[in-house]
Amino acid sequence: MIASYMMALDMSVLAPALAQHGATVLLNVVVAIAVGAGATMWWTTRANSVWARGQARTVRRVALVALALALCASAVVLWLQAAAMAEVPLAQAGEATRSMLSSTHLGLAWKIGMGALMLATAAMALARPGRHERVLVLVGLAAMAGFLYTRSMVSHASADGDFSALMVVDWVHLILICLWVGEVIVSGLVVFSSSPGALLDNRNDCARYVESLSRSATIALVGIFATGLLNAWRNLGGISELVSNAYGITLLIKLTLVSGAVLLGGANRFIVMPGLIASLRSGDAGADKAIQKFTQILRVEAVVLVAVLLMAAILSATSPPTAG
């Protein structure tokens, strides 16, 4: 099966495509981090404990860095795509890029997406403690959702137009994937990198955050499964196509990685989390150890999910069986 997969990939174009895949993966990862940071801000700005306010400030900075990287990565992806489509060296792709921006559907989607990213960046930059903080966070999240719609506009889902049911399904799938991946990365690498301490308010807010994280991940997974099933059926045309072409095999690898991430998340949800919540709310000294275990699993899950985004980037550049 692996041999047929490698044969299906044109090795003569694989090397030049690596840069584009790499830039696309970077774009996917940093947008997911921005979405996860925005969701974390939404949860933590509801509380007033020292821990919650500190986390809100930290993840706001994370969101701004991620959005700045997304702006850069989006520009790089456009340049690489223009060079590839015009079949010119990267250094000579300026004219091709200008032409793509002014006369192609991809250029239109890129301009709308760049505007959405700029709006998200401005909203997060202005989202400081005050009466409009949560409104601005919501505006930032909505703008990120708008950017993700432009990603669907240049995907396989756009075959039936920019406002089809298939587009909406793909868009919702992207939003939920970014929410899941982003909140896992932000929680594992940022939020739980320090203990909430001994103060009861801090520990209660930390417990509520863990519950919000678990709840949103569960909702995201249900939605990802439903929308992913619809996308796969539309793009594959049948279960037999899973092992007979490059698109199907790449999708199978992605599904395997997603299953691994689900198992890790399930272990945290059903084995680690009950004891963690109980120890946080009771003031048990074992809370720090439980947080450490919870965080370790989150970090492994984050690595697996980055691999999922890599496979998603390859899928987006691979023609599905139903395309022909």
| Token pair for 213 | 């994280």
| Token pair for 169 | 């399904």
Instruction: State the number of CA atoms in the 13 A half-sphere of 306 facing the CB.
Output: 13
Does residue 298 contact residue 186 with C-beta atoms inside 8 Å? no
Residue 243's alpha-carbon distances to 93, 233, 317, 323, in angstroms, are: 37, 14, 18, 17
For the segment 36-55, the average pLDDT, to the nearest whole number, is 95
Residue 152's alpha-carbon distances to 74, 106, 173, in angstroms, are: 14, 11, 10
Q: Domain of 221?
A: 2-323
Does the pTM surpass 0.95? The reply is no
Confidence of residue 6 (pLDDT cuts 50, 70, 90): very low
pLDDT tens, position by position, 267-297? 999 999 999 999 999 888 788 899 999 999 9
Long-range (24+ apart) CB contacts under 8 A made by 68-73 are 68/121, 69/26, 69/30, 70/27, 70/30, 70/31, 70/34, 70/117, 70/147, 71/114, 71/117, 71/118, 71/121, 73/23, 73/26, 73/27, 73/30
| Structural domain count, the chain | 1
Does residue 45 contact residue 134 with C-beta atoms inside 8 Å? yes
Residue type, 102: S
* H/E element, 121: helix 105-126
Residues counted in the chain: 324
In the predicted structure, residue 150 carries a pLDDT above the cut 90: yes
| Token pair for 87 | 């079949």
**54 conformational bin, left if phi > 0, alpha if psi -120 to 50, beta if neither:** alpha
As a whole number of angstroms, the distance between CA 224 and CA 32 comes to 14
pLDDT tens, position by position, 175-193? 999 999 999 999 999 999 8
| Mean residue pLDDT across the chain | 91
As a whole number of angstroms, the distance between CA 277 and CA 204 comes to 9
